Amino acid sequence: MGPDISHHPLQGADGSVTFSSNLCSILAAANGPVEVQRRDELPEEAAVEVNIRPPSGVSGPRERWLESVVAAVLRSVLHLHMHPRTLVQITLQITKAPSSTLKGAIRDVALLPSLINASFLALLDGGLPLRSTVAAVFLAVVGMGEVREDPSEKELAGCKSVHGLAYNNHGDLLLSESSGSFDLAEWENIADQAEETCRAAMAPLDEDGVVMKGTMSSGPWLRQELTDKAQAAVAWREAT
């Protein structure tokens, strides 16, 4: 159900995760709160630094733009005021990117939801204080106005527009990036669908464990992953 996630693959970082969706795979590492350089120090909150590395080649302006978008989202998610004059550092290594046959703008928009999901999971793994839970989703409008969630590359071939949106568990919209041709009514429809998917990703589990809702969403993958992880952490309590 949902994307492929593996927890704490790196021993050297405070928190790390590998996150794979249909189009891309990300290895995310989070460190913090650590010592900050004097020039980046903020007097009342933590500074946030995001580093994105492409799968091959040297990082350039495209990565800088992605970093600025991800950093802006994470600033709304982290409890920055709990650790003033420190640094929260997130490194994102794209291990598999969408194929280069797609247009550049589509590839960027396709990467953003995975980057945000991966950073959030890495921050959580590292125990950094967070204000809310975030889920991001990538939607594409294909063919005759049909909306596909987390499409494969084949489905993206003739798409009209692509959209990356992220919502938190208080219902706030944190990310909205789009590319292609669409009008406002279409965007509103897509935003509603994205909100429903993100909410479903964080929906509470019922007694049996998993609630499958509708055909569009991939179930409460975020809630399931985090619940399994938290219960594994206290497994020793049940044993004694």
Partner 1 sequence: MRYDRDIKNAKAIDRSSSRKTRSIPDITSRNPSPPQLHPHNTPSMEATMVLLPGENVPTDHLPKPKKGKLTLGPGLQHTPPSTISATTAGSLQVDHRKAALWLEHAGGRYQPSVGDLVIAQVHHSSVDTFSCALTPHTSFAILGQLAFEGVSKKTRPQLKAGDVVYARVSKASKWEDVEIECFNSATGKAEGMGQLKGGMVFDVRPAFARRLMMGTDKEGVSKGGVVVLEEVGGKVKFEVAVGRNGKVWVDSGSVRETVMIGQLLRGADEGGWDVEGQRKAVKKALRDV
- Residues of the shown chain interacting with partner 1 in the complex, contacts defined by CB under 8 A: 8, 14-15, 31-35, 79, 82-84, 86, 124-133, 168-170, 202, 222-223, 226-227, 229-237, 239-240
Structure tokens at 118: 């991966």
What do you get for the CA distance between the two ends of the chain, in Å?
32
Separation between Cα atoms, residue 194 and residue 216, nearest integer Å: 10
Separation between Cα atoms, residue 109 and residue 178, nearest integer Å: 6
Residue 15 or 98: which CB sits closer to partner 1? 15
Bridge partner list, 20:
4, 25
Residue 130 or 211: which CB sits closer to partner 1? 130
Helices (H) and strands (E) in the chain, counts: 6, 9
DSSP per residue, 43-84? SSS-EEEEEEE-SSS---HHHHHHHHHHHHHHHHHB-GGGST
What SS3 state is found at 195? helix
> Nearest approach, Cβ of 85 to partner 1 (angstroms)?
8
> Nearest approach, Cβ of 55 to partner 1 (angstroms)?
27
Residue 33 or 98: which CB sits closer to partner 1? 33
What SS3 state is found at 105? helix
Residue 106 or 128: which CB sits closer to partner 1? 128
Residue 95 or 227: which CB sits closer to partner 1? 227
> Nearest approach, Cβ of 161 to partner 1 (angstroms)?
30
